[in-house]
Amino acid sequence: MAESLIRRNQDESLQQKNRMKIGLVRRGYSPTGGAERFLIRFAEGLRAQGHQAVLFSDCGWPSSAWDDSRYEMVSLASAGRTLSPLAFADALEAVQPKQHCDFLFSFERVWSCDAYRAGDGVHRAWLQRRALFEPGYKSWFRGGQKKHRQMLELEAALYSPQSGVRIVANSQMVKKEIIEFFGKPEDHITVIANGYDAESPNEDQYLELRRKKRQQWEVPDDEMVLLFAGSGWERKGLVFALQAFAQFKQSSQAHFMVAGKGKAPRGVSEQGVHFLGEVDGLTPSYEAADVFILPTLYDPFSNACLEAAAYGLPVITTTANGFADVVQHLQQGAIVEPGDVDGMAMALEKFAADFPDPKRHEIRAWAAEYSVARNVQASLEFILSLDA
């Protein structure tokens, strides 16, 4: 009995020793933000494994999102105030975060941390890609803007080989960019893809969602629906999607649903195009559509593409989207170069040939492998491996 008690006390002592207080850093708050949803799930995962989460933020999170009875929060500014990127990084340094936690895991560009999740990719790479599709004077003007200068300065500090910060990239594309632009050692960058959990109704419910939404859209069962979802239409490449759809529609009966907020491109035929505005809850739209398109100019790893695939839609996107790393061309979708309108139109023709059953069940099953639980567990293992 004494030996058992000693062993139990030793086990409890070891568990206590291995418990960590992990700081999570996020500037601002959005109730629909993907990073916010991940942070909340990640904190729950930490707690389930006996660790503690401490949130560093510049504005008050609602208690419905961050339960202060279970998790700590360190405020970097007065309630409701959002700081500029540089001011936020300075404020984080000022509170000496390692006095509040054992390990600092940042979701924002800051001066220093133990690990940084590069969910926004490489700003320098995005500016370069954007310059290829806009007049030179716009790139010149943007280069002088304070916001971009600050982000580039912070990025250089994080990605520098001398910084020692470990990086979590959400795609191989982002990892390659960090190495190419900054010379960060490859073994200092770990790739953990984004995660998403689709709602899981049964087959009858799938069909009912599809029927109701297509009825609302006034779309016949025998006509294909192309779906685009996202804001920031210039970066998301909506103009190229519209051009490809116009080319495809010359030989097919189809509809193009655009969900999100933005300024419609000029000079593109809008025949068969329906601007839905901001849509609260895209599940019925995913079920009612047949193909998802996002010809983005830059996306580290598009959550919208993963969501669409989780509902069985083949995804047409570009090589400038980290999501393309995990897609088998013409299986779960099609990958083209940014701005390749002909390539997108050809992909639409291919998926139209499979309509009305473009392997939805196979695509759903494939996307289900990229779950939130898998993402959280991989991130936890990454942190604990560094602390070992």
Q: In the 8-state DSSP scheme, what is residue 95? A: T
- Spatial strand order of the sheet with 166-169 comes to 72-75, 52-57, 21-25, 103-106, 115-118, 166-169, 189-191
Given this model, what pLDDT does residue 79 score? Answer: 66
Give the separation between CA 323 and CA 351, rounded to whole angstroms: 19
Helix (H) or strand (E) holding 318: strand 315-318
Q: By C-alpha distance, which of 89, 107, 140 is closest to 41?
A: 107
Rg of the chain (C-alpha set):
23
Provide the token pair at 44: 């729950």
Give the separation between CA 229 and CA 112, rounded to whole angstroms: 34
Given this model, what pLDDT does residue 325 score? Answer: 94
Helix (H) or strand (E) holding 244: helix 238-249
Considering the domain delimited by 12-195+372-387, tell me its CATH architecture: 3-Layer(aba) Sandwich (3.40)
Given this model, what pLDDT does residue 205 score? Answer: 85
Given this model, what pLDDT does residue 376 score? Answer: 86
Q: Split the chain (388 residues) into runs of 10 and give each run's mean pLDDT.
A: 46 52 90 77 86 90 84 84 90 95 94 94 92 76 79 93 94 97 96 89 83 95 94 92 93 91 82 90 93 96 94 96 92 94 95 82 93 88 81
- Distance set, CA 226 to CA 9, 215, 257, 349 (Å): 61, 16, 6, 12
* Residue 166 phi, psi dihedral angles, 5° rounding: -85, 140
- The structural domains of the chain, with segments of one domain joined by +, span 12-195+372-387, 203-368
Contact criterion met (CB below 8 Å) for 43 and 71: yes
Q: By C-alpha distance, which of 318, 313, 296, 322 is closest to 359?
A: 313
Identify each DSSP E strand in 247-298 by its residue range: 254-259, 273-277, 291-294
User: Within 13 A of 215's CA, how many CA atoms are on the CB side?
Assistant: 6
Contact criterion met (CB below 8 Å) for 191 and 172: yes
CATH number, domain 203-368: 3.40.50.2000
Contact criterion met (CB below 8 Å) for 293 and 228: yes
Q: In the 8-state DSSP scheme, what is residue 59? A: S
Domain 12-195+372-387 identical in fold to domain 203-368? yes
* Amino acid (one-letter) located at 382: F
Residue with tokens 């049964």: 202
Given this model, what pLDDT does residue 248 score? Answer: 94
Q: Does residue 178 come out as left (phi exceeding 0), alpha (psi in the -120 to 50 range) or beta?
A: alpha
Q: By C-alpha distance, which of 300, 281, 303, 277 is closest to 292?
A: 303
